[in-house]
Structure 1
Amino acid sequence: MTKADYLRKIVLEGRSPVLTRVGEIMTDESKLITVTSDTNILQAMQIMTENQIRHVPVVDGKLVGMISIKDVVRAVVEQQSGELKRLNEFIRGEYY
């Protein structure tokens, strides 16, 4: 839970952080947005952007992980950096 989530779901609603159970503030299962481990990064980014969410559970029959917008951005930057490197090598005649 981020500081913003804490403020919004605990403090602003006047809840006690000691007495409030996770189940009381978590997203209802019927509204939960998930991806699978086969979802590509651009699809995950689109899902997160369209739904204005920062974290998405990865479910393959059961919970296998969690992906954050930070993970998605890092993966896209790494991919683009690799593409840029290959283009530069190609331009310099070093592409194999």
Structure 2
Amino acid sequence: MLLVFSDYLRKIIVQGRSSKSTKVGDIMTEENKLITVKPETRVLKAMQLMTDKRIRHIPVISGTEMMGMVSIGDVVRAVVSEHKEELNRLNAYIQGGY
């Protein structure tokens, strides 16, 4: 389950609850399942998940341990870097630098 900002607004602020005394489990939306990736997940797969689920951050889980968090910015930078490398290889090939 994932706590989303709309859950916080509707279930904490609007209902007059206190953030300090309310358990996260009490306000999480049931239909929101935690979306994760593994360290070996390909960047484009993570990007597709993030796009499909409309999320900006995705936890990286190995077994039961959280290894890190990937943002959509991280994913975009990786894709742009990969495309730049490919363009450089193609330019080198065209110019006879291979």
- When the two structures are superposed, what TM-score results if normalisation uses the length of structure 2? 0.73
Tell me, which stretches of 5 or more residues in structure 2 are unaligned?
A: none
Runs of 4+ that moved beyond 3 A: 8-13, 15-18, 24-28
Deviations 1:30-79 (A, max 9, x none): 71010000000000001111111111100001111110100000000000
The alignment of Structure 1 onto Structure 2 pairs a total of residues equal to 89
Pair 1:26–1:76, CA change in 2 (3 A): farther
Superposition RMSD on alpha carbons, in Å?
A: 2.6
1:27 Cα deviation after fit: 7.0
Query: Identity, % of aligned pairs?
Result: 45
Task: Indicate yes or no: 2:39 matched with 1:34.
Answer: no
Tell me, which stretches of 5 or more residues in structure 1 are unaligned?
A: none
Cα distance in 1, alignment partners of residues 62 and 21 from structure 2: 30
1:19 Cα deviation after fit: 2.6
Q: Which residue of 1 aligns with 2:86?
A: 83
CA contact (8 A) 2:7 2:29 kept: no
Report the secondary structure of 1:38's partner residue.
Answer: coil
- When the two structures are superposed, what TM-score results if normalisation uses the length of structure 1? 0.75
